[in-house]
Structure 1
């Protein structure tokens, strides 16, 4: 079972906005805050990424930046331009961009960026799996693959050919896979989270087993035995690496699968319950209500009533 494929298929990431920025000489752009993942690729030249808090970052040609959510930030040709942008921001709406260009010649900079969303019922789960901030340099092997992907995304976003939406969604899925692969080999083990768990061979194996057979009656003892650890050591390491106990992780994943089945299928409650490890529809309803605050049937009705608007 490929856990990454499992997760991305469930999340259904969708590209919703793309932008190409070209500038010469001294310039700057203030980008509004987003509560969804944002990425930026430097296609040509270089520029500074200037956050509201933290140190500026010089991005060179081929560099890639991904942020889970963002406060307003600036992209500038030089750090002195930030002050000009901050002055121009006064009185603008929170969702507005601000662009300043000196109008003189100079080296060209070309950026491609955008943002995407996933289905809303999985936003919380997805947020816990995506890095807050991921910076990939052009010298990294992954940058070349991302550059080619973003080039395809940019081409597709500007066309009106049949199948565009399908192609765009698949390209975003591939982009996320490429982005997610990197932290699995370079994760800081001191940071608890899904990536930290995936980087640990024993915990990775346990996660793989749970995803491969989610309906099985998994216990800490059984998982520990399967990965070759004592119960106490496994429970402690899982919580340290993933940030939650094994039972909590499994329950969260089961509820995510249940949400998807309730919205996108006509399967009965008992069929869904049995497929994710609950022995009765009442046990499933209790667990689902405890996790979401609403019964499964009510959740299905509410989400389906929203689908035409969405």
Structure 2
């Protein structure tokens, strides 16, 4: 998980505190970003397609690249668009101060290219952390630190914000990794499985090693066939397919963020020659490593 988050590098944080009075509903647009929020006061329903969650004070939620979604106080309220609300913050304030109010922190952040799509394999459609959970309390503390850092003008502000975003992401994924039941296939599900996680850890420790399914199965303490079937079922990709994808993620990051020689990048990705690496890289991305580096400005 630490390696994956290191490649994703959360950045470009945007957030605000929203206060409304009943009845209210807000429609949020689809975004290619990670959306997060914590309800501070009041209750509301989160609706995303067929998903409907009730949020209580202190609850935290996170979604990766969501389609259109809605927060509402009641079922019969026509939502106002977020853009319209931001243009007129008083639109949902109501005229009666005695009307029940809701306050929540809502924001989003992006991931650095070129591996931003990796988050799709980590997050469920909606990660919901209930207020009673210790993780929600920790996330609340982190959000307060985030607010304090973002509104101050101290040296190292940008670095501190990036690291706080990383810790928020770790806390959210760590919480989700403990919820094995009903978890959708992906890396988190693999890390939650005691046997598959052993193989994943070894694979991530030595990504350039010439792993075979049989060797990974021994790390997991399983038969070759049983391991291959379970890995594919839980992680949603074959063991060698996952290894190849992870190697390409490492290679793309190295091409974009470093000036390493091409043979070094090839060896990092588990290939003994530049030509073999170039062939595999082109097959995976549609570009040669050199063209990919140039396109990314490396």
TM-score calculated relative to the size of structure 1: 0.88
The count of corresponding residues between Structure 1 and Structure 2 is 292
**Would you say the 8 A contact 2:122–2:173 is kept in 1?**
no
2:206 pairs with 1:209? no
Per the alignment, do residues 185 and 138 of structure 1 end up closer, same or farther by CA in structure 2, a change over 3 Å counting? same
Deviations 1:59-91 (A, max 9, x none): 11110111112222222333332x2x2xx55xx
Q: Equivalent residue for 2:253?
A: 260
Counterparts of 2:156 and 2:84, CA distance in 1: 30
Supply the distance in 1 between the matched residues of 2:50 and 2:101 (Cα, whole angstroms): 27
Which consecutive residues of structure 2, in runs of 5 or more, have no partner in the other structure?
86-90
Equivalent position of 1:174 in the other structure: 167
Runs of 4+ residues deviating >6 angstroms: none
Residues 200-228 of structure 1: CA deviation (Å, up to 9, x unaligned): 11110000001001111100011112221
Alpha-carbon separation, structure 2, partners of 1:266 and 1:258: 12
Aligned mates of 2:160, 2:243 — CA distance in 1: 32
Please tell me whether residue 159 in structure 1 is matched to residue 159 in structure 2. no
The alpha-carbon distance between structure 1 residues 73 and 227, as it changes in their structure 2 partners (threshold 3 A), is closer
SS of alignment partner, residue 39 of structure 2: strand
* 1:215/1:277 contact within 8 Å kept: yes
Q: Could you state the TM-score of these two structures normalised by the residue count of structure 2?
A: 0.91
Hey, what's the Cα distance between the residues in 2 that align with 1:48 and 1:281?
Answer: 53
Residue 73 of structure 1: aligned partner: 69
CA distance in 1, matches of 2:182, 2:74: 35
CA RMSD of aligned residues (A): 1.9
Shift of 1:43: 1.8
Q: Provide the residue aligned with 1:96 in structure 2.
A: 83
1:285 matched to 2:282? The reply is no
User: Residues 28 and 179 of structure 1: is their aligned pair in 2 closer, same or farther, counting only changes over 3 Å?
Assistant: same
Q: CA deviation at 1:153?
A: 1.4
Distance 1:28 1:197 in 2: 37
Give yes or no for contact 2:38–2:140 (8 Å, CA) kept in 1: yes
The alignment status of 1:129 with 2:122, answered yes or no, reads: yes
User: Per-residue CA shift, 1:236-288, capped at 9, x if unaligned?
Assistant: 11111111111110010101101111111111010111123110111111111
Alpha-carbon separation, structure 1, partners of 2:153 and 2:183? 46
Correspondence for 2:55: 59
C-alpha separation in 2, matches of 1:126 and 1:109? 30
1:92 alignment partner in structure 2:
none
Q: Which residue of 1 aligns with 2:88?
A: none
Flag structure 1 segments of 5+ consecutive residues without an equivalent.
90-94, 306-310
